[in-house]
A and B are shown apart, each in its own frame.
Chain A
Amino acid sequence: MLSIKDLTVNVNDKKILKGINLEVKAGEIHAIMGPNGSGKSTLAHVLSGKSGYEVTGGSVTYQDKDLLDMPPEIRAREGVFLAFQYPVEIPGVSNVYLLKAALNAIRKYNGLDEVDAMDFLMLVKGKVKALEMDEKFLYRAVNEGFSGGEKKRNEILQMAILEPKLCILDETDSGLDIDALKIVADGVNSLRSPDRSFIMVTHYQRLLDYIKPDFVHVLAHGQIITSGGPELALELEEKGYGWLEDGQVAA
């Protein structure tokens, strides 16, 4: 599904990503962990097409297409979804309006008619209920005045409605209380399918308790310095990153 090869990225002439290699197959869940400032969000942003990042080398292939060549909205319509670490507040644009515009943009891209208003409402209300959100959130401006946890839940609501193929969750667990974490994790798990993949950036094992990853990668100083199975996350929880960064990286 996704193949990242030797990806190097500069921000303001500073090297942030220094040769990332990552293969994500359909249906897999990859967790990316790593210290603050190591480049996790940068990677997520580059994959979703945010400007301000200069790709200086390497390639990203998504479903046999050059992902880096596509404008952000085309990536999104092709099924790449980023749940932001810091979701943006959009005053004056209601949640439900954005959801409908987004869904219709995908449908149009795929040669489908606009969604029927009633069907849409049923769909949205169902997802809202599943995420235990208040329906009032639908009519509020996107993320405006939402609490940290509410914003994260809202990202998952969007994801649930757009049904992307590659879901990139950037610290969706931070800011969520214990109950919310479980609800969000259930939401993510219900989206799991053999043709949908996830990249989850997280600092905490507790998310991985709910959503069991197939692979765990450690990103430090712009490189993936080690990869392993779910047990790696447990080890990290115990030991931190120091032992890896000291150069004792297992080959």
Chain B
Amino acid sequence: MNTALNQYAAAYPELAAAMPGQGLSWLQQLRADAFTQFASHGFPSPREEDWRYTNVSALEKKAFNPVSAATTSFVDADCLKQYQLADAWSLVLVDGRFDARLSNIQGLPDAVQVMAMAEALQLHAGQVASYFGKAVDTAEHGFIAFNNAWFTDGVFVHIPAGQILAKPIQCLHIVTQEGSLATTRNVLVLGDHASAQWVETFVGADVGYLSATVTEAFVGQNAELTAYKVQCESAKAYHFGGLYIKQARDARCIQHNFAFGGLLARTDIRADLEQAAECELNGLYLGVKRQHIDNHTRINHVQSHATSRQLYKGVLDDRARGVFQGRVVVAEQAQKTDSNMSNRNLLLSADAEVDTKPQLEIYADDVKCGHGVTIGQLDEKSVFYLQSRCIDEATARNMLTFAFANEMVDKVTLPTLKALLLQFLLKHFPQNSYVD
């Protein structure tokens, strides 16, 4: 075992004794296997193809530790307001633990189950067991193993068949303490024909911490999920988050991934598509200073007639580095697959960098698959055109960059979230005023 990992592994036995799901043999087994896997392999290494561009060795040098429940600091409800959607049912996780006091699920239909993962493991263990680890397993990579072994809490959401939720459910992850490790595990289930909007927001105090999270989502037949991830971690934080979606026949899923924060941030999004499922993945990453922002997508076309669309846009400034690796795998029986993947990058400084790697793996013969990548600077013709219309150069560049990024915010259908994201963009590109 890598000696650097000792600090995580050495601390584990004591931590494990206090983790949720003690009495559950399936979970204990899963944790033990995950720990063994992590203890021998550690965090992913740049030698792994999927981690070539993102070196996580910094995590091994620092020791991030879970915060014990007792020391969880008070989070001001006012401070949450800037991230909390006014029109959503909200679930708040502070330093890796569900906080009932800050959460609000008033008016949620009775048939919908929403609770802390720790509680779900006590009250509905059988139900959790039928989903937990079914969308992603320990073998995926080091952070999944780590999450399986280390998770302290999360949320469990079950929306029964036919249930259409009028309001979105927001899961707000907050980390408040320097050096802390917040490892959360969420399970989201939509029964057949159900419909829901799911927003995961990640924020933190202006300190260094590690936020490691995994969400498994199961979208039933003909069900519809609109999922958002808004990653606004502290500029000193490490963020590793995965969303693993299983879409049943005819299920529809649109996922919007906004990666704004973190010193080093990586998001993995995977969707497995059964027959005629539809999947749309949209992403926007904005990197400044020395940020490293990595986004990985993978769409598995398992059965025929499914469609997938991906559009990821990146804006990198200063010395920031962006990574996009998108993989579409079309299985032999997945005939009539219709898939398109596009990644467009705007580099605003000579020191900014992006590594982009779209991959198609096609084993079926009757498919329509395309992909495209662009990496470029702002179009000088456009800059001049705006200047010739009285706009100064700096503002012109800002307008064009804002317009490039705003295309992704424009796709957001949830008005409150859209407004919040727009605020963020305007702060990021300050010379813009917005008129509608």
- Which positions 72-105 of chain A face chain B at CB distance < 8 Å? 72-73, 75-77, 81-82, 84, 87-88, 90-93, 96-98, 100-103, 105
What DSSP secondary structure best describes chain A's contact surface?
helix
The docked-state distance in angstroms from the alpha carbon of A156 to that of B33 is 70
The docked-state distance in angstroms from the alpha carbon of A105 to that of B396 is 12
Closest Cβ–Cβ distance, residue A47 to chain B (whole Å) = 10
Per-position contact with A for B384-401: 1 when CB-CB < 8 Å, else 0?
111111111101100110
The docked-state distance in angstroms from the alpha carbon of A42 to that of B404 is 29
- Which among A48-56, A128-136, A239-247 touches the partner chain? A48-56
Closest Cβ–Cβ distance, residue A139 to chain B (whole Å) = 9
The docked-state distance in angstroms from the alpha carbon of A81 to that of B385 is 11
The docked-state distance in angstroms from the alpha carbon of A248 to that of B43 is 82
Q: Which residues of B contact A81 (CB under 8 A)?
A: 388
The docked-state distance in angstroms from the alpha carbon of A100 to that of B395 is 14
Q: Chain B: which residue is nearest A45 at the CB level?
A: B384
A105 touches B391 (CB 8 A): yes
- Which positions 241-300 of chain B face chain A at CB distance < 8 Å? none
B391 touches A102 (CB 8 A): yes
Of listed B386, B390, B396, B434, residue having the most chain A CB within 10 A: B390
- Which positions 362-402 of chain B face chain A at CB distance < 8 Å? 379-382, 384-393, 395-396, 399-400, 402
- Which positions 60-78 of chain A face chain B at CB distance < 8 Å? 71-73, 75-77
Partner of A106, one of B382, B390, B402, B407: B390
Q: Which residues of B contact A92 (CB under 8 A)?
A: 400, 402-404, 406-407
Q: Count the B residues whose beta carbon is within 8 Å of the partner chain — how many?
A: 26
B403 touches A76 (CB 8 A): no
B79 interface residue (CB < 8 Å to A): no
Q: Which residues of B contact A98 (CB under 8 A)?
A: 386, 389, 391
Q: Which residues of A contact B403 (CB under 8 A)?
A: 90-93, 141
Q: Which residues of A contact B433 (CB under 8 A)?
A: 101
A162 interface residue (CB < 8 Å to B): yes
Q: A51-B384, A93-B399 are in contact. Are A102 and B406 (CB under 8 A)?
A: no
Counting contact residues on chain A (CB < 8 A from B), the size range is 20 to 34
Q: Which residues of B contact A223 (CB under 8 A)?
A: none
The docked-state distance in angstroms from the alpha carbon of A81 to that of B393 is 17
B407 touches A48 (CB 8 A): no
The docked-state distance in angstroms from the alpha carbon of A102 to that of B402 is 17
Taking A49-B387, A101-B395, A102-B389 as given, write out 10 further A-B residue pairs in contact, using a Cβ cutoff of 8 Å, ordered by the A residue number. Answer: A49-B388, A71-B387, A76-B387, A76-B389, A90-B400, A92-B400, A93-B399, A101-B433, A109-B390, A162-B389
Can you sample 28 A-B contacts with CB below 8 Å?
A: A49-B388, A50-B388, A51-B380, A51-B384, A71-B387, A71-B393, A72-B384, A72-B387, A73-B390, A73-B393, A75-B388, A76-B390, A77-B390, A84-B385, A87-B385, A88-B379, A88-B381, A88-B385, A90-B382, A92-B404, A92-B407, A93-B386, A98-B389, A101-B391, A101-B395, A105-B390, A105-B392, A109-B390
